[in-house]
Every structure is written in C-alpha cells, then in structure tokens.
Amino acid sequence: MTRGLEEYQTSQKRWGFCRDTVLPEDRRTNARPDRATKLVRHSVSWETEVAKVVCVLYEDPVDGYPKGYPRDEIPRIESYPGGQTVPSPDAIDFTPGHLLGSVSGELGLRPYLEGLGHTFVVTSDKDGPGSTFERELADAEIVISQPFWPAYLTAERIAAATELKLAITAGIGSDHVDLQAAIDRGITVAEVTYSNSISVSEHVVMMILSLVRNYIPSYQWVVRGGWNIADCVERSYDIEGMTVGTVAAGRIGLAVLRRLKPFDVNLHYTDQHRLDESVERELGLVFHPTAESLVEVCDVVTINAPLHPETEGLFDDHLLSKMKRGAYLVNTARGKICDRDAVVRALESGQLAGYAGDVWFPQPAPPDHPWRTMPHHGMTPHISGSSLSAQARYAAGTREILECFFSRRPIREEYLIVDGGRLAGAGAHSYTPGNATAGSDGAARGN
C-alpha cells in the first residue's frame, strides 16, 4: 500500500526513521538529509533497469500471520548510543511493531520494489538443491536474508549466482555469506549495523539472570503444579559480587556491560580494539588481552564477537577447561564460536553450570541437535535480534540500503561489510578476511 503524503510524513516523524521529511515524489532526485554518519560510495552500482530481488525470511506463525498484537505501539528510538542515527529510508510501507521478518511480513518491501518495477521473490524454502532460494538465486541481483533463518551463501552458490551484486543482511552478522567468495567476486555485503544490538544485549542480561537464578527449572515446577522450593534453589545464586566478562565489547558487548553495571558485579572484557580509557573508568572495566585470561577469572562469560576465521571454534575443550568450575556461558553471537560437543561435555561434567544463547549451527537446528537436550541449558531459537521492535529498525535499514543502491547513492559506511573487493566499514573493523561458512555447504544441500 502506497501512503499519501500526510500519512507518510506522520509516519516518518513518529517513528524517527528519517531525520527530515523528504517529499515522496522527490525521493529519488533530492539529496538526502545530512546524517551524523560518514558516507562512502559503494563500488557496485545499478546498471540495468529492473532487478530481481530474492528475500529469504522465516516462516509465518503456525496459526497464521497475526491479526492483532499485544501492544498498540513501540517506543520511538531517535538514535543509538554514541550518536549513530537510526535507519533513514525515504519512506516506509509498514507499521512499526508488526511482524515483518516472516514471509507474509516481507520486510514491508513489496510496494516499494514492485512500484519501481523490480521482481520481488520472498521465500522461507532455503536449503537443498531444489529449494526455491537455490532456484531463484540463479538470476538474482540482490539477496536479502536474516541471520535468524540464514540463506547460506556458500562459495558454490555465489559461483552459481552470476548476476549477484548485493547481499543484504536484514539484521547484524553476515557470516552466513562466504565473505572471501564475496570479496573475490566483488559482491557488496551490507547489514543494518546497530539495528538489533540493544535487543540482543537485553536478551543476554535476561539469560544470565535466568541461568544464575535457576529461573527456567523453577518456572517448570510451577507449570507442573509443584511447590518445590528446595528443588528450585539448589542451583540458584545471586549475580551480585560475581565477575562477568564479555568476549568482545562492540555495540552489543558494551551495551551488556552497561546494563550489568547496576547489579554490582565486577566487569571484565577482551576485544581486539580496546575501549576508551574514559569508558573503562566509568564502568570499572578490567581489560584482558586474550579470551583465555578473561575466562580464567570469570563466573559468567558472554560472547559478543562476530563469527570469522579467528573466532570460529574459539570455545573448544581447551578454552572451556580454563574457565572456573561452575561458570556460566551465554552465547548470542554465533553457534559456531563454540564447539557443539565440547559445550555438551562441559555441562555434563559440571565444568559449566549453565549455557544459554539463541544461536546454533546450522539454522534451523535439526530436532536432534544436542543443545536441545543437554543439561542446564536455557536455549531459545535465534530470536534475540528479531523482536518486533528490532524488526522495524532492520526493515527500515534494509529499505535504506536498497534505496541507496538503486539510486546510486552511497550506502552508509557503517552498514558495509564487504565492498570493492575487500572488507569495508563495519566489516573492516570487526571481521578478518576468509571464510567462516564451513559446514554451510552441507546445510545448504539440506544434509
């Protein structure tokens, strides 16, 4: 549905997705409002008139696309911590707070893309050679995928996608793309940096408290009709006074540290980029040069680094053995940063008192994935970055990236992961070149 001008202006102001209002009819010719961000010109520009855009989204709810929502609105967010502005597309064609990340939500993109004459294919059928994604990929110029339901863009698939120019991650974390293959082919990879970082940090805090306080088993006693206080509390502690450390203190990691500060815990971190001294002082942070020295002193460890060749398999038997006995590990970053079976072993032996997170490999996780049944876990499907609040931001950011691409305007530097045959923007800051999609070939083949 295309909006009238009045409705459009109201929606833009109300949700803060534009700093200034630009008339819709001018949106492809006017200069964009200044942003508090540095812009770079992406190397791949649009040369043909219409494009084929293939978008892979997760399935609708089992009871069908929602007819209503528990709340009537979501809060308006104007900018992120540090001043980065929220996505600022010229327009949006969705209602913030509605389900956008499932196939019927279509990220709110269909009116815009079809209005420009582009072909827009949306599917959740992503794995296996006969999958809709694999068939449609053959002549796709743009692929959009969410990390929650990743369309694995392996080297083999990239080689077969001869028209592919742009891979957009609707969210954060582009490890489902073979970044080395994208670098080699000159494909631009962009994501909506910061769109769900705060969402994830909230989930991390929730999971730390859930594990340490033994919330989930206690809840289950209530549902089962019990009043088993001793059963609930025999594994329940306070986090007050504990030492909590994060592996990586980027947008999510730092937000976790800030949120935990009022719990009177000791805060530690490691990162390849050290934080400003003023931030370290404000939060009382202890910096560690390596993950190993961090985990040795922590009662709780949270992982907030991207998956790339340096972090793949980082939490293996060796690193887990360096943790304090009875430590808790929370991983909302990427499943493959942890060795799947080493985590199970550490829980079974008591080396870990609990493990929680929302990231798995592959995704969706098969029904017999051992993390579903290992002891003392608090796993969810990959949802932390796909709250309705987050969806509004990454749908708007995806639209912003598309608008830039089609009108040959620069994509924000902080949205870029790969561009011009190299890591760029946020990718150059947080990733190393190479491929961390090992195993995705099997997942993509449906094995």
Ligand X SMILES: NC(=O)c1ccc[n+]([C@@H]2O[C@H](COP(=O)([O-])OP(=O)(O)OC[C@H]3O[C@@H](n4cnc5c(N)ncnc54)[C@H](O)[C@@H]3O)[C@@H](O)[C@H]2O)c1
Which residues of this protein are in contact with ligand X, per CB under 6 A?
171-173, 196-197, 200, 247-253, 270-273, 304-307, 310-311, 332-334, 358-359, 382, 384-385, 426, 430
- Scanning the structure block, which residue is given the tokens 């890591």? 423
**Distance of CA 6 to CAs 10, 24, 108, Å?**
6, 10, 19
Q: What's the CA gap between 59 and 391, in Å, rounded?
A: 15
User: Is 272 a catalytic site residue?
Assistant: no
- Which among 32, 176, 382, 393 is annotated as catalytic? 382
User: Is 447 a catalytic site residue?
Assistant: no
Smallest separation, CB 201 to ligand X (Å)? 8
On whether the CB atoms of residues 245 and 297 are closer than 8 A, the answer is: yes
Smallest separation, CB 144 to ligand X (Å)? 16
On whether the CB atoms of residues 173 and 334 are closer than 8 A, the answer is: yes
Q: What's the CA gap between 117 and 109, in Å, rounded?
A: 12
User: Is 84 a catalytic site residue?
Assistant: no
- Which among 32, 334, 377, 399 is annotated as catalytic? 334
Nearer to ligand X, 248 or 379 (CB): 248
Task: Give the pair of three-digit tokens for residue 88.
Answer: 């600022």
CA angle 270, 271, 273 (to 5 degrees): 140
Q: What's the CA gap between 190 and 350, in Å, rounded?
A: 41
Residue 413: other Cβ atoms inside 10 A:
18
Instruction: Determine the straight-line distance between the first and last CA of the chain, rounded to whole angstroms.
Output: 40
Smallest separation, CB 173 to ligand X (Å)? 3
Nearer to ligand X, 67 or 273 (CB): 273
On whether the CB atoms of residues 291 and 318 are closer than 8 A, the answer is: no
Nearer to ligand X, 270 or 391 (CB): 270
Nearest to 332 by CA among 367, 307, 357, 311: 357
Smallest separation, CB 403 to ligand X (Å)? 23
User: Is 196 a catalytic site residue?
Assistant: yes
Smallest separation, CB 200 to ligand X (Å)? 4
Task: Give the pair of three-digit tokens for residue 19.
Answer: 């700093």
**Distance of CA 230 to CAs 96, 218, 227, Å?**
44, 10, 9
Q: What's the CA gap between 361 and 336, in Å, rounded?
A: 6
**Helix, strand or coil for residue 380?**
coil
Smallest separation, CB 387 to ligand X (Å)? 9
Smallest separation, CB 227 to ligand X (Å)? 35
- Which among 12, 363, 391, 435 is annotated as catalytic? 363
- Whose CB is nearest to ligand X? 250
- Scanning the structure block, which residue is given the tokens 């796709």? 140
Q: Which residues pair with 247 in a beta bridge?
A: 270, 303
Burial zone of 440 (CB within 10 Å; 0-12 exposed, 13-18 middle, 19+ buried):
buried
Nearer to ligand X, 188 or 199 (CB): 199
- Which among 12, 196, 214, 435 is annotated as catalytic? 196
Nearer to ligand X, 22 or 192 (CB): 192
Active site residues: 196, 334, 363, 382
